[in-house]
Amino acid sequence: MKKHNFCSGPSILPQVVFEQAAQAVLNWNDSGLSILEISHRSQGFVDIVDEAVALVKEHLQLTDDYEVIFLSGGATSQFFMTAMNFLDKEETAAYVDTGIWSAKAIKEAAAFGNISKIASSEDKGFSYIPKSYSVPTDAKYLHLTSNNTIYGTQIHQLPETDVPIIADMSSDIFSRPIEVERYGAIYAGAQKNTGTAGATLVIIRKDMLGKVNRKIPTMLDYTKHIAKNSALNTPPVFPIYVSLLNLRWLKSQGGVPAMKTLSEQKAGALYAEIDRNSCFIGKVAVEDRSLMNITFLLSNPDLNDKFGAACDAAGIVAVKGHRLVGGFRASIYNGMPMESVQVLIEVMQEFEKENG
């Protein structure tokens, strides 16, 4: 039976990416070698990194002011690496708390400088994006989580500030154009919209670098990774290759602008059904709804298991909400086709006929 995978991460990738990745494991580029056995010092791998970096720059329209590297350690390592590399002990960075991932970023950064939590949506269970706050002009940077994977909220407008923004874009990078020049750094675990688990994409504006006094261990120092073109030590070769395949696919589809249109269609159709269907309720403030992670509740929570079973029966996978927030969540990253969203909508409509 065909599966429709709505998992929040690791998540669905385009079928052609799975096929090309599988082929490369057996015989990469007709070399007679598996991608899993090539040296990270070989020209072949250097070319993979160079093309992936070039595609990231093209897709996000990055100027030469920006460096692009692939690291390991997940977005979670970036919670502390950003502060370690960009914030001195006496300096202050501003953080907006929009849920679990932001909270982890705040906790990890606190070891390296003063962290000022300037806004939070905790008062309403992180069901909205705080907007009426001002960013202290002396803040070293402002940290934002652009899309809150767990709650299903997304920042649709950046706050007014001249302070460089550092954004965790793990779950919405490449899904919409960004105002590049506003960012001092961007990071994203690859397993949602970039590629597969094991690589982390980090984008850094050059003027952010080399401005802290502390001694940074080599493996945690952005400047060292940049100098070695993402191969300071053995990098996650295969996840970087899968990212390259996915970035090529993205280009073939019309790039980020096309993904924005598609995301609006997919999310629009799902939200319209949630709003229309008497069995379901949207969880978050309408103006802050995420186009990547669509969260909803059943109006009668006693029917949760029944809806779960209806999804199973239709081949729909991983629509259960995050264990900390409950309900349901459909993650519809770039690789998710409209047809699968349509299958979920039909299950919701059938469910209403039987239970509404």
- Binding residues (CB under 6 A) for ligand PLP: these are 9, 74-76, 101, 145, 149, 168, 170-171, 189
Contact 165, 158 (CB under 8 A): yes
How far is residue 187's CA from residue 189's CA, in Å, rounded to a whole number?
A: 7
CA dihedral 84, 90, 93, 99 (to 10 degrees): 70
How far is residue 85's CA from residue 184's CA, in Å, rounded to a whole number?
A: 12
Q: Which is nearer to ligand PLP, 101 or 241 (CB)?
A: 101
Token code pair at residue 166: 């550092």
In angstroms, give the least distance from the CB of 174 to ligand PLP.
14
In angstroms, give the least distance from the CB of 195 to ligand PLP.
12
Q: Tell me which H or E stretch contains 119.
A: strand 114-120
CA dihedral 173, 175, 179, 185 (to 10 degrees): 0
Contact 115, 106 (CB under 8 A): yes
Q: Which is nearer to ligand PLP, 169 or 250 (CB)?
A: 169
Q: Which is nearer to ligand PLP, 38 or 145 (CB)?
A: 145
Q: Which is nearer to ligand PLP, 195 or 327 (CB)?
A: 195
Q: Which is nearer to ligand PLP, 74 or 130 (CB)?
A: 74
Q: Which is nearer to ligand PLP, 108 or 168 (CB)?
A: 168
In angstroms, give the least distance from the CB of 123 to ligand PLP.
21
In angstroms, give the least distance from the CB of 145 to ligand PLP.
5
> How many C-beta atoms surround the C-beta of residue 252 within 10 A?
11
- Distance of alpha carbon 18 from its chain centroid, rounded? 19
In angstroms, give the least distance from the CB of 326 to ligand PLP.
18
Q: Which residues are catalytic?
A: 101, 168, 192
In angstroms, give the least distance from the CB of 170 to ligand PLP.
4
Q: Report how far apart, in Å, the C-alpha atoms of 279 and of each of 321, 325, 347, 355, 356 are.
A: 16, 19, 12, 7, 6
Q: Which residue has the tokens 């079973």?
A: 309
Start-to-end C-alpha separation, the chain: 28
How far is residue 147's CA from residue 289's CA, in Å, rounded to a whole number?
A: 9
Main-chain phi, psi angles of 235, to 5 degrees: -85, 170
How far is residue 319's CA from residue 84's CA, in Å, rounded to a whole number?
A: 36
